[in-house]
Amino acid sequence: MKTADPELMRAINRFHVMDAIRRFGPIARVEICDRTDLSATTVSAITGALLDDGLVITQQLGGIRDAARGRPRVLLDLNPDAAHVVGARIAPDRITIATTNFRADVRASLTLPVRVGRHAVPVAVDLIEDGIRRCVADAGLELSQISGVCVGLPGVVERGAGICRASPLFGERDIPLAAELTRRLDGVVATIDSDVNLVTLAEHWFGQARGLDDFLVVSVELGLGLGILHKGELFRGANGLGPDLGDLLARPPNGNGLVRLASIASEESLLSDARAALAGTEHEHAFRLGRGMEKVLERAKAGDPAIVALLRAAGEALGFAIANLIVLFAPPKVILAGPALAAGDALVGPLRETVAALLPPSLADVADLVVHEWTEDIWARGAAAMTLRDLYGAPWGTTGPAPHR
For the domain covering 84-201+377-393, report its CATH number: 3.30.420.40
Ordered by start, the domain boundaries in the chain are 6-78, 84-201+377-393, 210-371
pLDDT at 267: 86
Fold match flag (84-201+377-393 vs 210-371) = yes
The Cα–Cα gap between 279 and 103 comes to 49
Q: Kindly write down the DSSP assignment for every residue of 147-175, as one continuous string.
A: EEEEEEESSEEETTTTEEEE-TT-S--SB
pLDDT at 255: 53
Provide the residue-wise pLDDT of the chain in tens; the chain has 405 residues: 445 577 778 888 998 899 899 989 899 999 999 999 999 999 999 999 999 999 999 987 655 555 555 566 789 999 999 999 999 999 888 999 999 999 999 999 999 999 898 899 999 999 999 999 999 999 999 999 999 999 999 988 999 899 999 998 998 999 999 999 999 999 999 999 998 999 899 999 888 888 899 999 999 888 899 999 998 889 888 777 778 888 888 765 555 667 889 888 888 899 999 999 999 888 888 888 878 888 998 999 999 999 999 999 999 999 999 999 999 999 999 999 888 888 889 999 999 999 999 999 999 999 999 998 767 777 788 888 899 888 887 443 333 344 434
pLDDT at 87: 94
pLDDT at 177: 97
C-alpha pair distances (Å), 347 with each of 67, 262, 270, 317: 56, 15, 11, 10
pLDDT at 136: 98
Task: Answer yes or no: CATH 3.40.50.2000 is held by domain 210-371.
Answer: no
Strands 333-337 and 368-371: parallel
User: Considering Cα of 122, then 135, then 150, then 263, what sign does the dihedral take?
Assistant: negative
- Domain at 6-78: CATH architecture: Orthogonal Bundle (1.10)
pLDDT at 346: 93
pLDDT at 96: 94
pLDDT at 230: 92
- Cis amide bond preceding 92, omega within 30: no
The Cα–Cα gap between 107 and 111 comes to 14
pLDDT at 47: 94
pLDDT at 68: 54
User: Considering Cα of 242, then 243, then 245, then 246, what sign does the dihedral take?
Assistant: positive
Beta carbons of 84 and 141 less than 8 angstroms apart? yes
Q: Where are the beta strands (DSSP E) in 37-155?
A: 56-65, 72-78, 84-91, 94-100, 106-113, 146-153
